Structure 1
Amino acid sequence: MTPRPLAVACSGGRDSIALLHATWRAARALADATGQLHPIHAFHVHHGLSRHADDWLAHCAEQCVQWRAQGADLQFHARHLDLLPSPGGSIEALARSGRYAALADMARATGCDTVLLAHHREDQAETFLLQALRGAGAAGLASMPASIWREGICWRRPWLQHPRAAIEAYVAQHGLRHIEDDSNTDSRYARNRLRLHLWPALTQAFPQAPQVLGDAARHAQDAAECLQALAEIDLGAVAAEDGLDAAAAVALGGARLRNLLHLWLQRTVGEPPRASWLDRLSRELPTCTDARWPMAGMGELRLWRGVLRWIPGMPVLPAAERVAPVALPDLRAERCFPLPTFGGVLHIEPVAQGGVALDGLATLTARPRSGGEQFQRAAGTPPRALKKQYQLAGVPAQGRGGPLLFCGEQLVFVPGLGMDARVVAPDGRPQVALHWHAHHTGHSTTQGTG
């Protein structure tokens, strides 16, 4: 291995404490044998969901201090999440997405291109069962990959083939201290219900279940990769301007059509479509010439003159839920300004060029989209409707939230697009860039920069 920093996600539980301990010991042994130094970084995410969360963070930090005293080249990092679950939303999904975003943020900040995760064989088997119970296809049944690259970071699960008992034995052998998450006994969560009520009976009746279900997940991974490759080939064959050649797509047949639409919509919309929605679309598309299929406030698919296109839209809130414009205070001395009405924080960063004049921060107003706004993406290009600019820039529907910032009636900043070219300050003049960070996914996510 080329010497480089390596990260371990550490919650403080048995599995992650064992993985962190094994990793720094292996790195130290490698340094002793070859002189190659691999700094280890422990990443802890404070979800804020348990009354014990502060104690868990302190335990992980203290453990890293103790191991550094034993010769470990080990640094500890932590991120706090501000989870705001929507009514009826899954707190499990929210915490998971927030956790991975926080881990990725820490990896980029520390120069780590690899993050190790402590999932083991039983975790994989449980995930497979949960996905099967949700009616997942091959991609869902593939469960957790042993290694995958996402956004420049490699996520590795080195213990995915190892049983829980092996980790327990390692912890006992080295006398490792770890925490017990009290939420693991809460049957409100699907994984806990499976683990507490179904898993004991299943493994008693079928002792080989963890290994067999893990094998099934690997078979599903192979199938998912083959389906992905086929969809890539089909997409290249039926692509049309701004969409798909509907006749060529329909000619592929039902299963291949659904496979193609799944990939195309996932890339176009930004999230995988529901199986029931795909089934409906694949049934109706062959019988239509001109048609529209709305997608839950995100936009719609439109078939027109033989081409199937995705038309992004803006969710329309009931009048009682619409956000009123907010007159902002003078922001020239600020570096960040919370806008809870819009669900996020405005960050202000001094720049040398491409920003808005600092004086322009004195009289800003934050407004929701109301329709008819004109935005100019670059100097020398005509202003266009905001909806069209989103389409041209490929901004998915979920990236179009947040406030529009105006100075008087001049649009200044749009999350997902950045600064309007008409307000960009000349070089040499004091200026700033604006960044919108939304909190609706449970973590700060940059939705637009300028």
Structure 2
Amino acid sequence: MAASPTPRPTARPTPRATSADVTRSTAPANPCEQALDRWCERCARTPLKVAVAYSAGADSTALLLAAHQRWPAQLVALHVNHGLQAAADGFERHARHFCEQHGMALRVERVHAAHEAGQSPEEAARLARYAALARMAREAGAGCVLLGQHADDQAETLLLALSRGAGLPGLASMPERFERAGMHFGRPLLDVPASDLRAWLLAQGHAFVDDPSNTDTRFTRNRIRALLMPAWEACFPGFRPLLARSARHAAQAQRLLDELAGLDLAHTGAPPQIVQLQSLSRDRQANALRHWLRTSAGVAAATAQLDELLDQIAACTTRGHRIHIKVGPGHVEREGERLRYTPTL
């Protein structure tokens, strides 16, 4: 009996590439994707669920699309509506439509931040925004909120700090990772120029909104953006990533100073003993006192206040010497052999 022939597999036609396939294969990658890869490599771990602060502007739109590409089932977009301008409701409508169009989960919270005496409306809105983002992220089960600040924002922050005579904490500008309101936040785009984000969005046809307040030159940051940044670019093309690098160097130096302050405060005690402070150099005293005030009371002494405090510590050689210097909303005082910080009630 003749053997049955072995069945041959049926040949399947090779699918022909369509124009859409060609477009997708040749389309440039979202510049946020590589930045997000680098940021994730530097992080110790990636949370099971990630949130993106989505204002509907260009930077957060590009970041949201990159995050959605990386974590399609683990992502939630967070939109905060401050109601501070007439366009705010339009931003929210755009955010809802964009997320629905791309199949992304979205949470929206409206906040009305009243500023206190001595506090700017912008500062009050910023604090309220962080609190709302942290709250929404926790409700969504996210362990981290990604923010869309980019290289231009970092450069503007550094120039603003330089114009105010800031120390290393100010020159360090915006950290790429930090914690606020009990939530972890990340800024993966600090090396990416804004022009790269906008060029990619426009080339791919992704819609975003422009905040009209960003061109209002009554605000210092907007004047830096409109006047200083073009002048720097004319003199030093491609300077933005270089300023971001300088900010990273300043942040590294500040971390070392914080480590030294920790060692010195272990020697002086916290609150610090005056005699033990006097055994340190004046520079180390200043560094330790800044760290003590920042970590224990959440305040920063102005340069003149800190200089006066250091002079008083140097002069404190008798039992009856009194120290009482205003720092922030309170006072640094002598209490026995130690300093203490007393906030104003």
Q: Same fold (TM over 0.5)?
A: yes
| 1:60-71 → structure 2 map (5 Å cutoff) | 60-68=95-103
1:89 positional shift? 3.1
The equivalent of 1:234 in structure 2 is 264
Question: Does the Cα contact within 8 Å between 1:92 and 1:189 map onto a contact in 2?
Answer: no
Larger radius of gyration: 2
CA distance in 2: counterparts of 1:64 and 1:104, whole angstroms = 20
Out of 30, 48, 51, the residue aligned to residue 7 of structure 1 is: 51
Corresponding position: 1:262 with 2:290: yes
CA distance in 2: counterparts of 1:126 and 1:2, whole angstroms = 29
1:150 positional shift? 4.2
Out of 305, 312, 337, the residue aligned to residue 277 of structure 1 is: 305
| 1:22-41 → structure 2 map (5 Å cutoff) | 22-28=66-72, 38-41=73-76
Size of the alignment, in residue pairs? 298
Unaligned runs of 5+ in 1: 29-37, 69-73, 315-450
1:102 positional shift? 1.4
The equivalent of 1:95 in structure 2 is 125
- What letter matches 1:39 in structure 2? Q
Corresponding position: 1:157 with 2:187: yes
Question: Does the Cα contact within 8 Å between 2:131 and 2:181 map onto a contact in 1?
Answer: no
Question: Does the Cα contact within 8 Å between 2:75 and 2:105 map onto a contact in 1?
Answer: yes
Secondary structure of 1:303's match? strand
1:298 positional shift? 3.6
- What letter matches 1:219 in structure 2? H
The equivalent of 1:182 in structure 2 is 212
Question: Does the Cα contact within 8 Å between 1:10 and 1:17 map onto a contact in 2?
Answer: yes
- What letter matches 1:64 in structure 2? C
TM-score, structure 1 normalization: 0.63
The equivalent of 2:26 in structure 1 is none
The equivalent of 2:343 in structure 1 is 312
Question: Does the Cα contact within 8 Å between 1:125 and 1:214 map onto a contact in 2?
Answer: yes
Q: 1:251–1:2: structure 2 CA closer, same or farther, 3 Å change rule?
A: closer
The equivalent of 1:140 in structure 2 is 170
1:16 positional shift? 0.5
Question: Does the Cα contact within 8 Å between 2:324 and 2:331 map onto a contact in 1?
Answer: yes
Q: Report which of the two has the higher share of strand.
A: 1
Corresponding position: 1:20 with 2:64: yes
Secondary structure of 1:291's match? coil
Question: Does the Cα contact within 8 Å between 1:142 and 1:219 map onto a contact in 2?
Answer: yes
Corresponding position: 1:244 with 2:288: no
The equivalent of 1:343 in structure 2 is none
TM-superposition CA deviations, 1:89-136 (whole Å, max 9, x none): 322222222211211111122121111111111111111111111111
Question: Does the Cα contact within 8 Å between 2:178 and 2:185 map onto a contact in 1?
Answer: yes
| 1:404-415 → structure 2 map (5 Å cutoff) | none
Question: Does the Cα contact within 8 Å between 2:130 and 2:181 map onto a contact in 1?
Answer: no
Q: 1:153–1:304: structure 2 CA closer, same or farther, 3 Å change rule?
A: closer
CA distance in 2: counterparts of 1:297 and 1:61, whole angstroms = 42
Q: Report which of the two has the higher share of helix.
A: 2
1:178 positional shift? 0.7
The equivalent of 1:195 in structure 2 is 225
Q: 1:77–1:20: structure 2 CA closer, same or farther, 3 Å change rule?
A: same
TM-superposition CA deviations, 1:144-202 (whole Å, max 9, x none): 12223445532111211112222122202321111111101111111101001211112
Secondary structure of 2:250's match? helix
The equivalent of 2:18 in structure 1 is none
Q: 1:121–1:5: structure 2 CA closer, same or farther, 3 Å change rule?
A: same
RMSD: 1.9
Question: Does the Cα contact within 8 Å between 1:299 and 1:312 map onto a contact in 2?
Answer: yes
CA distance in 2: counterparts of 1:148 and 1:85, whole angstroms = 24
The equivalent of 2:237 in structure 1 is 207
TM-superposition CA deviations, 1:220-273 (whole Å, max 9, x none): 011110011111111111015xx2110111221211111111111112322222
Secondary structure of 1:104's match? helix
Secondary structure of 1:45's match? strand
The equivalent of 1:172 in structure 2 is 202
| 1:373-412 → structure 2 map (5 Å cutoff) | none
Secondary structure of 1:124's match? helix
CA distance in 1: counterparts of 2:47 and 2:110, whole angstroms = 30
TM-superposition CA deviations, 1:205-224 (whole Å, max 9, x none): 22132122111101101111
Identity of aligned residues (%): 38
CA distance in 2: counterparts of 1:179 and 1:149, whole angstroms = 28
The equivalent of 1:444 in structure 2 is none
Question: Does the Cα contact within 8 Å between 2:312 and 2:323 map onto a contact in 1?
Answer: no
- What letter matches 1:53 in structure 2? A
- What letter matches 1:299 in structure 2? G
